[in-house]
């Protein structure tokens, strides 16, 4: 536990996994390896991670999940004999570095990419569509879910973007729904919802969608409060939250920023229900902030829970990042799910014309209510179609508190309607 807390909370310690880490200067040298790799039965996948930037708090949890899962499959025969050549780059959440990495990797016949942030993933939408390279991101922006631009409000069609889990917008809608029901049960006459997060593509992704749905549910929506992603003294923001009278505060940031906000608001006496996005809630954040009854969504069980697929998760973890012990967060498990959906689509592609980006995309549409083999009960049944990349509409809602130890319990689960007007938003 201590090792994990230090690793995720400080954002400075070098992760112990033996990743292939490249600087942009080394990317050009790595291209020389391409010719020899092509002579083997292998395919190339690029992997963007943030281990040293502003989202490293959770990046160092999620990235090893992807890495360990792919290494595990490679060690057990690969994709029906085809090995995945995985190159990982810590781009420190800098969009120009992500774009440069993509440009270098796409020249190596990259067949797919495991991505990370919202700003860079959205910046790459048109590039990956043109190059026909599927991106499996850790950004759950709803802007990535309309492959054909069916919704007139969609900014850009995103035919080659996928992610595992409900979108930021849909999880926020589920939290707003929970809040409206909670307010009704408690007899709150004028429940007020407030968005607290940085002015950045990731925290902003669900802002307008969630505001519209909260108002549709009859809630008052207060003006959003801008909270920087970098930790700081947020008493001024907390006083604004207190003055707004909001009983339900959506935490749109993650990691140290969330910890700092909860502590600052506790200092000035804010009384509200805090609802985090999927990256804002985990046992590390709850312990560091000493949170009480923090609400947050999830799309996997937590490590060690009694579900059939947890055995495979444990084997992957113990063969990689957690070989020396420790406890993964659910972010690590989502990383495993992301990698396995990609790899099963690759297996389908290999049997249907070869492992190319275009065939991997087709493989993502080949099954309905799909769970990767061996991960039953871990990854929830998901469906992607050529008109709708909202793979999962089910949102589990959890409550976490710290009282000498972290306690997390699931308090609700909802499956949202697949509304046409929500596609891409």
Residues 21 and 155 in one domain: yes
- Give CA separation, 403 vs 37, 275, 406, in Å: 52, 19, 7
Note the pLDDT of residue 216. 98
For position 25, what pLDDT does the model report?
47
Which residues make beta-bridge pairs with 42?
83
Q: Using an 8 Å Cβ cutoff, are 64 and 320 in contact?
A: yes
User: What average pLDDT score do residues 342-369 get?
Assistant: 98
Distance, in Å, from the CA atom of 317 to the CA atom of 321, rounded to the nearest integer, reads 6
Please give the residue range of the domain that contains residue 90: 2-166+305-364
Coil, strand or helix at 297: strand
Distance of CA 110 to CAs 37, 103, 304, 357, Å?
12, 10, 35, 8
Alpha helices by DSSP H, listed for 76-167, are 95-106, 118-123, 125-131
Residues 11 and 71 in one domain: yes
The CATH code of the domain that includes 358 is: 3.40.50.2300
pLDDT in tens, 296-325: 999 999 999 999 999 999 999 999 999 999
Does the residue 360 lie in any domain?
A: yes
Average pLDDT over residues 339-353: 98
The reply to whether 327 and 266 lie within a common domain is no
Beta strands in 115-253 (DSSP E): 135-136, 161-162, 192-197, 220-221, 225-226, 248-251
Q: Based on the fold, state whether residues 220 and 142 are members of the same structural domain.
A: no
* 369 is a domain residue: no
Asked whether residue 383 is assigned to any structural domain, the reply reads no
Retrieve residue 83's tokens.
């090995």
pLDDT over 60 at 330, yes or no? yes
Does residue 370 sit within a domain?
Answer: no
Task: Please tell me whether residues 188 and 152 are part of one structural domain.
Answer: no
Range in 36-45, 63-72, 119-128, 169-178 with the lowest mean pLDDT: 36-45
State both tokens at 373: 């083999």
pTM of the model: 0.91
Q: 12 pLDDT band (50/70/90 cuts)?
A: very low
Cα 122 from chain centroid (whole Å) = 14
Task: Work out the pLDDT band at 19, boundaries 50, 70, 90.
Answer: very low
Residue 72 has pLDDT above 80, yes or no: yes
Condensed to tens digits (0 to 9), the pLDDT of residues 252-266 reads: 999 999 999 999 999
Q: Is residue 382 part of a domain?
A: no
- Residue 367 pLDDT > 80: yes
Whether the per-residue pLDDT at 5 is higher than 70: the answer is no
> Are residues 264 and 233 in contact, defined by beta-carbon separation less than 8 angstroms?
yes
Yes or no: say if 141 and 134 are a contact pair by the CB < 8 Å rule. Answer: no
- One domain, residues 252 and 399: yes
Q: What percent of the chain has pLDDT over 90?
A: 90
The fraction of the chain above a pLDDT of 70, given in percent, is 91
Q: Are residues 189 and 329 in the same domain?
A: no
195: in domain: yes
pLDDT top residue among 185 and 19:
185
Q: Is the pLDDT of residue 28 over 90?
A: no
Q: Compute the mean pLDDT over every residue in the chain, rounded to the nearest whole number.
A: 92
Domains contained in the chain, number: 2
DSSP secondary structure letters along 305-364: -S-TTHHHHHHHHHTTTTTT-----HHHHHHHHHHHHHHHHHHHHHHTT-S-HHHHHHHH
Claim to verify: residue 314 and residue 232 sit in the same structural domain: no
Closest CA to 40 of 82, 12, 91: 82
Task: Answer whether residue 372 is part of any domain.
Answer: no
pLDDT tens by residue, 374-397: 999 999 999 999 999 999 999 999
Residue 153 domain-assigned? yes
Q: Are residues 75 and 14 in the same domain?
A: yes
Domain identity same for 42 and 190: no
Do 134 and 174 sit in the same domain of this protein?
no
Claim to verify: residue 146 and residue 233 sit in the same structural domain: no
């Amino acid at each position: 536990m201590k090792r994990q807390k230090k690793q995720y909370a400080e954002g400075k310690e070098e992760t112990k996994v033996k990743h292939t880490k490249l600087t942009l200067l080394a990317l050009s040298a790595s291209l020389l390896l391409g010719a020899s790799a092509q002579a083997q039965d292998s395919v190339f996948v690029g992997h963007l991670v943030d281990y040293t930037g502003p989202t490293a708090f959770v990046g160092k949890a999620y990235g090893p999940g992807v890495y360990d899962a792919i290494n595990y499959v490679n060690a057990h025969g690969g994709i029906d004999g085809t090995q995945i050549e995985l190159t990982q780059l810590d781009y420190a959440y800098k969009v120009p570095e992500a774009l440069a990495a993509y440009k270098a990797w796409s020249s190596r016949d990259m067949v797919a990419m495991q991505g990370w942030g919202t700003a860079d993933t959205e910046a790459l939408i048109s590039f990956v569509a043109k190059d026909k390279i599927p991106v499996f991101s850790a950004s759950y922006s709803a802007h990535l879910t309309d492959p054909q631009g069916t919704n007139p409000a969609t900014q850009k069609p995103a035919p080659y973007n996928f992610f595992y889990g409900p979108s930021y917008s849909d999880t926020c809608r589920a939290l707003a729904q929970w809040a409206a029901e909670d307010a009704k049960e408690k007899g709150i006459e004028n429940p007020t919802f407030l968005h607290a997060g940085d002015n950045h593509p990731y925290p902003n992704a669900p802002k307008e969608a969630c505001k519209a749905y909260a108002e549709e549910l009859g809630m008052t929506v207060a003006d959003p409060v801008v909270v920087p992603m970098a930790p700081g003294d947020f008493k001024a923001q907390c006083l604004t939250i207190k003055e707004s009278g909001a009983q339900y505060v959506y935490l749109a940031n993650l990691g140290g920023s969330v910890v700092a906000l909860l502590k600052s608001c506790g200092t000035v006496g804010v009384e509200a229900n805090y609802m985090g996005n999927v990256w804002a809630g985990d046992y590390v954040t709850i312990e560091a902030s000493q949170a009480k009854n923090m609400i947050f969504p999830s799309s996997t069980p937590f490590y060690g829970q009694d579900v059939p697929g947890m055995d495979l998760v444990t084997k992957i973890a113990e063969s990689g990042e957690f070989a020396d012990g420790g406890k993964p967060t659910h972010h690590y498990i989502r990383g495993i799910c992301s990698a396995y959906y990609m790899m099963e689509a690759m297996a389908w592609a290999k049997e249907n014309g070869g492992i190319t980006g275009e065939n991997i995309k087709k493989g993502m549409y080949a099954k309905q209510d799909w769970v990767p083999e061996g991960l039953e009960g871990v990854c929830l049944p998901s469906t992607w179609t050529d008109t709708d990349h909202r793979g999962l509409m089910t949102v589990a809602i959890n409550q976490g508190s710290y009282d000498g130890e972290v306690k997390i319990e699931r308090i609700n689960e909802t499956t949202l309607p697949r509304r046409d007007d929500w596609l891409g938003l």
